[in-house]
Amino acid sequence: MQTPADVGAIDPAVLVDDLVVRFDETLAVGGVSFAVAPGEVFGLLGPNGAGKTTTIRVLTTLLPPTSGRALVAGHDVLGESLAVRASIGYIPQAISVDGALTAWENLDFYARVTGVPGRERKQRIAQAIESMNLHAMLDRLARTLSGGMLRRLEIATALLNQPAVLFLDEPTVGLDPSARRMVWEHLGALRAEVGTTILVTTHLMEEAERYCERLAIMDMGRLVEQGEPAALLERHGTESLEEVFTAGTGRTIEEQEGRLSDVRAQRRTARRLG
Amino acid sequence: MSAHSAALPAGSASGPSSPDARSGAGGLFSAQGLRALGGGAYAMAQSELRKLRHDHLDIITRSVQPLLWLFIFGTALSHTRSLTLGHLEYRAYLAPGVMAQAAMFIAIFFGLAVIWERDVGQLQRLLATPLPRTAIVLGKAVGACVRALVQALLLLVVIAAAGIDVRWNLGGVLGTLALLMLGTAGFACMSMLLAAAVKERERFMGIGQLIMMPLFFASSALYPLNVMPGWLHVIARVNPLTYEVQGLRQMLVGVGGAGELWLDFLVVGGFLLLMLAAATRAYPKAIL
């Protein structure tokens, strides 16, 4: 009854059906549909401004959709937003741990605010420390940690409520190559051990190809292509996802360097839109 | 894409918190809602205490300004004898005003600066947790209260050490701290509301000053209402800081302003509820 290729046949961890998000005149997401199978690492790939972050915000109940439907862990983001929020972990692009607290204090804080029962708090924190390998940094103030360590700490804080789905918005932005690889390896290990569904956005084609099991390519609020990376390459008879993107959109995806200004520009846009 | 799968079971790893959370959708005043409210506020207050422990210097540098008001301005003005305060020394009259002002400064800057500079990602995350929106705003306000409380205790120690003529009775001091916390939470919520309206981080400091100094001068913090010109008197009458100072003064030095203590608590408490409700509506949307 279930075939791995057809995620529609099993209960998806995330289901997005003809999602539209409009801010005044701007169409941020214009009719996007996709499904993510439980335990899958699913990538939303596209340039800045493609609508990836807006999609994640709908799925994490931060933004109501203008039309269409979205289910996360079986719950509707509009009608059952509290149940959705209890089933997810979310790591936005902006730093979400408190630099003035130690790594351990950040874990304790997030355990308390994500509704981890008091008697399980200690054990859950210990598990998260173990899975992200944070032992050496527990007593350090978060602002003294490197970018890669910060991301691992953030991921650990998002695991405490044992989320069914983990959302990460551009988790490797601003990291050097070895830190990026380490973040991906930890995410892969998490998925292998616990089976957490992971939905990640990225504008880095190479990372998407290497680490995501399935991809949806977005551009200007629309879904251009979706499928397994290898299948996408084969379908277009190309060697790289850049070419898949170009075949789907008629444009090239610019690799954007100068990450800080990138993040700033995105935040500014987001603030204006929100 | 299958778009017709209607009721799907919850994800297997969603943890024990999700079924209760669904029933807790009943509202803020359900047992679940209140527990989340208390737990969230507690976690945020605890975080502020921890931050203070990592950086003691902050609270000390912030206490310099109120002490300057008290000991430079207060001492100078008490020599001019321009205010008729009976046999009350001016510095004793001023002490409650300075305490209220110092707490208000903390509250307003806490809302404006700290959250926008440091917590943008953190707030997005908090909004995606099962915490009620009110708990997030209230938790931030409680965080400001923790800072204000530590500073108030510090100021009280200095006031006692300087021998300023304050009535030291336990009820008065506890009442003072309670009213101060209500006011601080109210001003913290007000500044979050302001942050939601202003949106540009760079403008906050200016706006903060613009709001704080008039609130301070148009209150009974420095001088009694009856020395004010008529128009200022009207503004001072609707300024919650006036009632906060009057209440503190009555409890700490035994001088009632024009109002009575219950009215002071009522106005400051009402101000808090109003600001909490407004900030809960406006603030989480603006932060995205």
**pLDDT tens digit string along A101-131?**
999 999 999 999 998 999 999 999 999 999 8
Using CA coordinates, name the residue in chain B closest to A59.
B128
What pLDDT digit, counting tens, does each position of B273-283 carry? 999 999 998 87
Q: Which one, of B256, B214, B254, lies nearest residue B238 by Cα? A: B214
Give, in degrees to the nearest 5, the angle at Cα B253 between B251 and B254: 65
The answer to whether the CB atoms of A101 and B2 lie below 8 A apart is no
Mutate which: A56, A82, A144, vs B, most B CBs within 10 A: A82
Give me the residue from A60, A82, A100 closest to B22, CB to CB. Answer: A82
* Spatial contact of A186 and A154, defined as CB atoms under 8 Å apart: no
Is residue A268 very low, low, confident or very high in pLDDT (cuts 50, 70, 90)? very low
Tell me which DSSP letter residue B113 carries.
Answer: I
Residue B131: the pLDDT is 87
Amino acid occupying residue B177: L
pLDDT (mean) for A222-227: 91
Residue B101: the pLDDT is 93
The answer to whether the CB atoms of A35 and B2 lie below 8 A apart is yes
Q: Which residues pair with A226 in a beta bridge?
A: A216
* Chain B hits for A267, Cβ within 8 Å: 120
Give me the residue from A8, A101, A113 closest to B131, CB to CB. Answer: A113
* Chain B hits for A74, Cβ within 8 Å: 7-11
* Chain B hits for A100, Cβ within 8 Å: 51, 54-55, 118
Q: Which residues of B65-93 are buried (b: 16+ CB within 10 A; e: fewer)?
A: ebbebbbeebeebbeeeebebeebebbbb
* Spatial contact of A218 and A45, defined as CB atoms under 8 Å apart: yes
Give the predicted TM-score (pTM) of the model.
0.83
Indicate the SS3 state at residue B129.
coil
Residue B72: the pLDDT is 87
Residue A73: the pLDDT is 95
Chain A, residues 79-138, CB within 8 A of chain B, namely: 80, 82-83, 85-88, 90-102, 105, 108-110, 112-117
Task: Report chain A's mean pLDDT, rounded to a whole number.
Answer: 86
The answer to whether the CB atoms of A94 and B121 lie below 8 A apart is yes
The answer to whether the CB atoms of B124 and A88 lie below 8 A apart is no
Residue B1: the pLDDT is 38
The answer to whether the CB atoms of B47 and A93 lie below 8 A apart is no
- Residue numbers in chain B where pLDDT is lower than 70: 1-29, 81-84, 86, 113-119, 201, 256-259, 284, 286-288
Mutate which: A36, A60, A87, A264, vs B, most B CBs within 10 A: A87
Total CB pairs under 8 A between chain A and B: 174
**Rounded to the nearest 5°, which phi and psi values hold at A29?**
-130, 125
- The radius of gyration computed from the CA coordinates of chain A, to the nearest angstrom, equals 18
* Spatial contact of A32 and A55, defined as CB atoms under 8 Å apart: yes
Using CA coordinates, name the residue in chain B closest to A139.
B54
* Spatial contact of A174 and A267, defined as CB atoms under 8 Å apart: no
C-alpha–C-alpha distance, residues B129 and A113, integer Å: 7
Give me the residue from B18, B118, B122 closest to A83, CB to CB. Answer: B18
Q: Which residues of B143-169 are buried (b: 16+ CB within 10 A; e: fewer)?
A: bbbbbbbbbbebbbeebeeeebebeee
H-helix or E-strand spanning residue B24: none
Is residue A192 very low, low, confident or very high in pLDDT (cuts 50, 70, 90)? confident
Residue B118: the pLDDT is 58
Give me the residue from B11, B55, B127 closest to A73, CB to CB. Answer: B11
C-alpha–C-alpha distance, residues A139 and B176, integer Å: 37
* Spatial contact of A219 and A251, defined as CB atoms under 8 Å apart: yes
The answer to whether the CB atoms of A86 and B286 lie below 8 A apart is no
Is residue A26 very low, low, confident or very high in pLDDT (cuts 50, 70, 90)? confident
Is residue A164 very low, low, confident or very high in pLDDT (cuts 50, 70, 90)? very high
The answer to whether the CB atoms of B122 and A96 lie below 8 A apart is yes
Residue B18: the pLDDT is 34
Q: Which one, of A141, A16, A118, lies nearest residue A67 by Cα? A: A16
Residue A273: the pLDDT is 36
| Higher pLDDT, residue A182 or B15 | A182
Can you give the three-state secondary structure of chain A, one letter per residue? CCCCCCHHHCCCCEEEEEEEEEECCEEEEEEEEEEECCCCEEEEECCCCCCHHHHHHHHCCCCCCCEEEEEECCEECCCCHHHHHHHEEEECCCCCCCCCCEHHHHHHHHHHHCCCCHHHHHHHHHHHHHHHCCHHHCCCEHHHCCHHHHHHHHHHHHHCCCCCEEEEECCCCCCCHHHHHHHHHHHHHHHHHHCCEEEEEECCHHHHHHHCCEEEEEECCEEEEEECHHHHHHHHCCCCHHHHHHHHHCCCCCCCCCHHHHHHHHHHHHHHHC
User: Does any CB of chain B come closer than 8 Å to the CB of residue A70?
Assistant: no
CA distance A43 to chain B (A): 17
**Rounded to the nearest 5°, which phi and psi values hold at A217?**
-95, 125
C-alpha–C-alpha distance, residues B66 and B70, integer Å: 6
Tell me which DSSP letter residue B238 carries.
Answer: T
* A208 has pLDDT over 60: yes
Look-up of token digits 């101000």: B271
The answer to whether the CB atoms of A114 and B130 lie below 8 A apart is yes
User: Does any CB of chain B come closer than 8 Å to the CB of residue A63?
Assistant: yes
